[in-house]
Copies of this chain bind each other. A is one copy, B any other.
């Protein structure tokens, strides 16, 4: 038995939750406070058999992999609307940090 702890961005949280349900993998979500290093995180705790860890890792990767997104920024504060020419920029979204811990004992009542 392993405990997989995955920290993912809020925006990927629903997709990950749905994909875990589809794969019949049980999980618990912990609220991460608006953070300093990882603002807008959700932490998943996933208990899983040893031989399912790879599948869980794949589901997390498919749901949350870091990727670039094209964003067209709003007019910057103070810039006159006339002089502002919006141009799209790439920002990185997504990503997951995963820790796999060994579970010595597991119980359900």
Whether A7 pairs with B28 at a CB distance below 8 angstroms is yes
**How far apart are A12's CB and chain B's nearest CB, in angstroms?**
10
Whether A95 pairs with B109 at a CB distance below 8 angstroms is yes
**Interface size bucket, A side?**
35 or more
Copies in the complex: 3
Whether B31 pairs with A109 at a CB distance below 8 angstroms is no
Residues on the B chain within 8 Å of A61, using CB: 109
Residues on the B chain within 8 Å of A47, using CB: 97, 99
- Tell me, in angstroms, the Cα distance from A3 to B45 when the chains sit together: 14
User: Does A11 interact with chain B (Cβ within 8 Å)?
Assistant: no
B36, B96, B98: the one contacting A21 at CB < 8 Å is B36
